[in-house]
Amino acid sequence: MNSDFSLKTRTISITSGKGGVGKTSILSNLAYALALQGKRILILDGDLGMANVDLFFGTRAPLHLLDVLNGEKNIDEILFQLHENIDLISGGSGIVELNRLSSFERRNMIDSLSSLDCQYDYLLIDTAPGISDNVLYLNSASEISAVVINSDPSSIADSYALIKVLHQQYQENRFSIICNQVKDDVDGQTLFSKFSEVVSRFMNVSLDYWGAIPQDTQFRKLNQQQKLILKHDGLCATSQALVKISHKMQVNLQNSHFRTIQKTGLQFFWEQVVGAA
């Protein structure tokens, strides 16, 4: 592997076609699992107006990206430590504001954010659900988009719509799938197979199966309380499933590095979101 490439931050969006599928909880627990494995994680909370990743870590970020855009803070000053090896950039309304900057301001912003590249192994982006412009920007700029689905017909339909728009408008051809709230691994594999069959019938895209998270009363209760199940009970089936998905994610990125090298690193990500000067 090229040494410069190996130092670049890998960017993964965790996204969904509809709300209420557990996207933010999954991202937060995956970040925690990766941090326990010694990986350095930067989270971008891009769910504008509904940003709540920090709440899963029992805290609240005081600053956000808009403070940088307004010239009140430097990028290093808004980084907020959620846990050892996990930092957060709270988007606030910043992603919208990014697209209103002058070319000079955009270039400075990209350079500032890109300076963080060597500090982190992974950038995890929590998008809003749906197909708004901000969701599409964040997903298309990411090296990999991981779509969270469950067996609810509306989840299937809306996730299909998200993939379709990203494929048709942004030429995205590879997606990863996480099946949530299923009975067991077999049920998760069945859900993925059905979804994959529908997608492949109408689109020429590749879907990678990252795994399934079983239905769990405790997990659902902790989600409602905005708490991490991996911190509460690291040995339960749900926690083990999340750890397994974190390993699958890393293997998936390692195996795809030659195909995604042009989309690697924080500079590429921010240039796609903001637009290069």
The percentage of residues in the chain with a pLDDT greater than 90, rounded to a whole number, is 68
Picking from 145, 168, 167, 164, the residue whose alpha carbon sits closest to that of residue 156 is: 164
pLDDT digits (tens, 9 = 90+) for 135-174: 998 999 999 999 999 999 999 999 999 999 999 999 999 9
The percentage of residues in the chain with a pLDDT greater than 70, rounded to a whole number, is 94
In contact, 95 and 273? CB cutoff 8 Å: yes
- Can you give the pLDDT at residue 257? 55
Residues 6 or more apart whose CB falls under 8 angstroms from that of 171 comprise none
Instruction: Give the DSSP H or E segment for 268.
Output: helix 266-274
- Can you give the pLDDT at residue 86? 98
Angle (CA) 81-74-133 rounded to 5° is 80
Residues 6 or more apart whose CB falls under 8 angstroms from that of 77 comprise 63, 67
In contact, 150 and 181? CB cutoff 8 Å: yes
pLDDT digits (tens, 9 = 90+) for 15-29: 999 999 999 999 999
**Residue 41 half-sphere exposure toward CB, CA atoms < 13 A:** 30
Picking from 190, 173, 182, 162, the residue whose alpha carbon sits closest to that of residue 263 is: 173
In contact, 146 and 13? CB cutoff 8 Å: yes
Buried residues in 61-98 as b, exposed as e (16+ CB within 10 A):
bebbbbbbbeeebebeebbbebbebbbbbbbbebbeeb
- Can you give the pLDDT at residue 46? 86
Q: Which superfamily is assigned to 10-274 in CATH?
A: P-loop containing nucleotide triphosphate hydrolases (3.40.50.300)
Tell me the mean pLDDT in the region 127-137.
91
pLDDT digits (tens, 9 = 90+) for 76-100: 899 999 999 999 999 877 777 877 7
Backbone angle region of 275, left / alpha / beta, with phi > 0 → left and psi within -120 to 50 → alpha: left
Q: What's the gap between Cα 246 and its chain centre?
A: 12
Taking the C-alpha atoms of residue 57 and residue 188, their distance in angstroms, rounded to an integer, is: 28
pTM above threshold 0.75:
yes
Tell me the mean pLDDT in the region 195-221.
95
Structural domain spans, the chain: 10-274
